[in-house]
Structure 1
Amino acid sequence: MPLTQDRMTPVRDAEVMPFAVGAGEEIYQGALVATNATGFLVAGAAATGLTYIGRADEHVDNSGGADGDETVLVRRNKAFLWKNADADPVGQSLVGQTCYILDDETVAATDGTGTRSEAGTVLAVETAGVWVE
């Protein structure tokens, strides 16, 4: 039903938010993280069906738990410097284009013939790694 009077809509700063962690997951502080097909946070991996979220701001061990037993704070909407894949490196020609999750600290140039999920947009490629938004 549409509003018929003013409403104080709740607001949250979405830069750092808690996410429910997937079953059997251990996520390290500084890890590239994504949500899986059921919406739970997992460490980045070469897999399909993941949605890139950002960088874990803390360590959490849910390796013995069920989906959602633990939460972890995740920093979002920033550019992060991830390692560049050795075998499938992101090159300068991909600036402004998509790169792909290889693991929880590494991005790659391609989707690995359909085996990797998108990480985000490449902003810069340096010797230290790849800046991804």
Structure 2
Amino acid sequence: MTALTIDRNTPQRSGDNRNFPVKGATTLFAGSMVALSENGFLVPASTLANLKVVGRNERRIVNQGADGDQRADVKAGIFRFENSTGGDAITLVDIGSDCFAVDDQTVARTSNSSARPVAGTIFDVDDDGVWVKFS
């Protein structure tokens, strides 16, 4: 392409709302942490290291069909999830660090020797859980 010689109408997206195809035979719950599988289909976040966590699922989706038969709306932003326990519990000193998905509602301080995918960045911690930033 060559440089512009006239004005251009450049499309824009806010970046906080996305829509992904859902893996077949999969249920995603509203408010759950979701991830893309290695094949690009949305699944619940879990301890599969090859997942790419993408945000919070907006409504319950039950895909009883094949991969991609259903699609799900996913939101990026800052959301509170459950904190892990014991040595993997996240504290205030962890703010700004990555946290890791344990399941579709829980995050941990460590990757458990690279067994867990990065969930997002720790934004805050309170008595009710961990605020995770998804971008």
- TM-score, normalisation: structure 1: 0.89
> C-alpha deviations, 1:37-72, integer Å up to 9, x for none?
11111111111111111101111001x222111001
Residue 79 of structure 2 aligns with which residue? Answer: 80
Whether 1:47 aligns to 2:40 is no
What code does the residue aligned with 1:110 have?
T
Can you give the 5+ residue segments of structure 2 that lack an aligned partner in the other structure? none
Q: Structure 1: which 5+ residue stretches go unaligned?
A: none
Q: CA deviation at 1:91?
A: 1.8
Amino acid in the other structure paired with 1:41? L
Q: Distance in 1 between matches of 2:2 and 2:103?
A: 44
Q: Secondary structure at the match of 1:93?
A: helix
CA distance 1:68–1:2, shift in 2 (3 Å): farther
Q: Which residue of 2 aligns with 1:23?
A: 24
Shift of 1:27: 0.2
Q: Deviations over 1:67-97 (max 9, x none)?
A: 1110011111x11101001242112221110
- TM value normalised by structure 2: 0.88
Q: CA deviation at 1:3?
A: 5.3
Aligned to 1:66: 66
SS in 1 for 2:102: strand
Partner of 2:116: 116
Q: How many residues align?
A: 131
CA distance in 1, matches of 2:2, 2:132: 39
Paired letter, 2:24:
A
Q: Distance in 2 between matches of 1:12 and 1:124?
A: 27
Distance in 1 between residues matched to 2:50 and 2:8, nearest whole Å: 37
Instruction: Identify the residue that residue 102 of structure 2 maps to in structure 1.
Output: 102
When the two chains are superposed, the root-mean-square deviation of aligned CA atoms in Å is 1.5
